[in-house]
Amino acid sequence: MANYFDISVAVAGACQAGSLVQKFAHKGNCGEDNEILSYALKSLFVSQPDSTLAVFDNDLSHLKLGIEVAMAQFGGGKGNLDTEVSRYWIGILALSKKLLENPVAKTELVQRLQQVERQLLICENDILNEQIIANLASIYREVISPLGTQIQVTGSQQHLSRTDVQNRIRATLLAGVRAGVLWQQVGGKRWQFLFARKKILNQMQSFYQTL
């Protein structure tokens, strides 16, 4: 029996990453969502959570952006579907599946994240430190991106040409893949987006009411 609480938490994480990528690509920053970005990146270092929500520090507010985006994606919002964000989070889930099918990549990912975790101690646990973000970006570029079809990010060339923005986008995509792995682990399946769409939407709306 699918647990749509856990599945929806993971989907919100992937949708949140997709939305943050879009913000970086079009605006060069994520505006007021810096704190949400920090929790997304911190999720990369939660390897043995007690629960699905523990990956996001046991607080749904850390997924607020993702919950709002998911509600719109699954039919609970007004206006047209944002297909750009759809492309990002669906691509993220596809890459996470490729990762779980590749033992070598999984091992390398764990080792590389352990290195960054040690560097975090030197940086006083500042997850938004430029060097930390650059190191996370390199993990995405070297370990995750080669696994499948590359996610083509579109936006303002003025921003996309900047190395710091490129690093933030890749680090955010890596955090999205973490949510995607979680989605697979709790029983997430692609067919649910068609045949259990209402269940996911209802769960997202329930989450939103608690924020």
Q: Token pair for residue 201? A: 């939407």
Is the dihedral angle over the CA atoms 17, 174, 189, 51 positive or is it negative? Answer: negative
In this prediction, residues 183-190 reach a mean pLDDT of 97
pLDDT of residue 54: 98
Neighbours of 50 (CB within 10 A): 9
Q: Kindly list the structural domains of the chain, giving each domain's residue range(s) and its CATH number in brackets, ordered by start.
A: 4-210 (1.10.3890.10)
Looking at residue 81, its pLDDT comes to: 82
Q: Which of 185, 170, 135 is nearest to 37 (CA)?
A: 170
| Mean pLDDT calculated for residue range 184-204 | 96
Q: Please check the confidence at residue 36 and state whether its pLDDT lies above 80.
A: yes
User: What is the phi-psi region of residue 2: left when phi exceeds 0, alpha when psi lies from -120 to 50, beta otherwise?
Assistant: beta
pLDDT exceeds 70 at position 199: yes
Q: Structure tokens of 206?
A: 């329930």
Report the distance separating Cα 79 and Cα 159, nearest Å. 27
Contact between 49 and 183 (Cβ < 8 Å): no
Q: Would you state the pLDDT for residue 104?
A: 98
- The model's pTM is 0.97
Query: What are the pLDDT digits (tens) for 161-182?
Result: 999 999 999 999 999 999 999 9
Contact 129, 137 (CB under 8 A): no
Which residue type occupies 154? T
Residue type, 109: L
Question: Rounded mean pLDDT of 192-207?
Answer: 96
Query: 66-106: per-residue pLDDT in tens?
Result: 999 999 999 866 656 899 999 999 999 999 999 999 999 99
Over residues 133-145, the mean pLDDT reads 98
The pLDDT confidence band at residue 155, using thresholds 50, 70 and 90, is: very high
Q: How far apart are CA 52 and CA 59, in angstroms?
A: 11
pLDDT at 52 over 70: yes
For the chain, percent of residues with pLDDT exceeding 90: 95
C-alpha to C-alpha distance for 153 and 87, rounded to whole angstroms: 9
Give me the pLDDT at residue 76, please: 65
Pairwise CA distance, residues 12 & 43, whole Å = 13
Token pair in block for residue 64: 């607020």
Q: Band of the pLDDT at 2, cuts 50, 70, 90?
A: confident
Q: Which position has the higher pLDDT, 142 or 80? A: 142
